[in-house]
């Protein structure tokens, strides 16, 4: 197995692995014992970038996944020191007002609760899980600045922002002499390329690293046709996606056969070849899935291969406005 590659997250000096360990399955689909084993193995394989969120675990207010990670950190052995931990806030953590979204009150409260669950004194990357159109940027940044000054947060990031949201955020941060965002976590994969219109260009211009989530489009790009022949089933949502994209997926898996590579690894490798992408999030349920993802680091896609993938899964045509105007 090859050694992990590292890069800076956006314009920051923070070095992170080219693959990010996603933890959303920890708790609901992967037991705590297996989750801890996967995280230990990820460290052994060179992963130093772990992503989670306060809502993961999907038990409102509990932060189940963060608790699992916190108990893993609590085992010691240098685990916390070796990990760049990224978590998120925005989603509802209770039924009372101000337990959701990005008010200064909820930012403070959510941070304190995540620190407690994660059993750490600081969050390396604190991400806003969604845009909050009702809270002014001056309020958001003031609250984040306090957390940074207190040493509870080192860097801030966004997730699911539009391009113009990133501009708003960065220009307000600039006026406040604050660093602002260093990352944006977006839905991005071969089959869903909308961010190429405006989000990717905005991120490149502002030095914001892109962290793609669902890099295999809920498993549709992970060899779903091969797996179905082996009797393995996919979720209803993935099956619905497949019905819309069946012709493309058939071509894609045939192309991967020509390359002699697993579809999942080609999908990750394509993202690693995209300018501005820092680290796709891989969310393994098992150790085998984690090991398999490492192969993507070795796959080199030349101009011909990238052109063929564009033919199978056409993007929007480049950045806006050229993609739809002139």
Task: Based on the residue annotation, tell me whether 90 is a catalytic residue of this protein.
Answer: no
CA atoms in the 13 A half-sphere facing the CB of 225: 17
Question: Which residues are registered as beta bridge partners of 30?
Answer: 26
**20 DSSP assignment:** E
Catalytic pick among 56, 90, 188, 206: 56
168-171: Cβ within 8 A, 24+ apart: 168/137, 169/137, 170/206, 170/208
Assess contact for 122 and 111: CB atoms under 8 A: no
Strand 153-159 to 84-89 pairing: unpaired
The answer to whether the bond into 321 is cis (omega within 30° of 0) is: yes
- Angstrom CA distances, 174 to 35, 124, 160, 180, stand at 39, 21, 21, 7
What does the CA dihedral 91, 241, 281, 147 come to, rounded to 10 degrees? -20
Length of the chain in terms of residues written: 326
**26 DSSP assignment:** B
Give the residue numbers annotated as catalytic, written as ranges. 56
């Amino acid at each position: 197995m090859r050694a992990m590659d590292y890069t800076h997250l956006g314009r920051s000096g923070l070095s992170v692995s080219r693959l990010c360990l996603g933890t959303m399955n920890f708790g609901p689909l992967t037991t705590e014992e297996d989750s801890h084993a996967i995280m230990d193995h990820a460290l052994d394989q060179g992963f130093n970038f772990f992503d989670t969120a306060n809502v993961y675990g999907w038990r409102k207010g509990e932060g189940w996944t963060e608790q699992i990670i916190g108990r893993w950190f609590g085992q010691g052995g240098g685990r916390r020191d070796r990990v760049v931990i990224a978590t998120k806030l925005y989603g509802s953590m209770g039924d009372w007002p101000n337990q959701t979204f990005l008010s200064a009150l909820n930012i403070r409260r959510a941070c304190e609760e995540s620190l407690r669950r994660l059993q750490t004194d600081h969050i390396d990357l604190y991400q806003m899980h969604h845009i909050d159109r009702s809270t002014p940027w001056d309020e958001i940044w003031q609250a984040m600045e306090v957390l940074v000054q207190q040493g509870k947060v080192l860097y801030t990031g966004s997730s699911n922002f539009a391009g113009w949201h990133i501009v708003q955020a960065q220009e307000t941060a600039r006026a406040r002499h604050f660093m602002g965002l260093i990352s944006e976590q977006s839905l991005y994969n071969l089959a869903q390329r909308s961010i190429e219109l405006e989000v990717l260009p905005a991120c490149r211009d502002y030095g914001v690293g892109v962290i793609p989530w669902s890099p295999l489009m809920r498993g549709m790009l992970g060899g779903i046709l091969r797996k179905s022949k082996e009797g393995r089933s996919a979720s209803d949502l993935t099956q619905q996606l497949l019905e819309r994209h069946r012709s493309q997926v058939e071509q894609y898996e045939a192309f991967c056969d020509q390359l002699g590579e697993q579809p999942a690894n080609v999908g990750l490798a394509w993202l690693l070849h995209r300018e501005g992408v820092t680290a796709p999030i891989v969310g393994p349920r098992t150790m085998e899935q984690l090991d398999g993802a490492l192969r993507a680091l070795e796959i080199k896609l030349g101009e011909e291969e990238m052109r063929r993938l564009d033919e199978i899964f056409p993007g929007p045509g480049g950045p806006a406005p050229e993609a739809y105007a002139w």
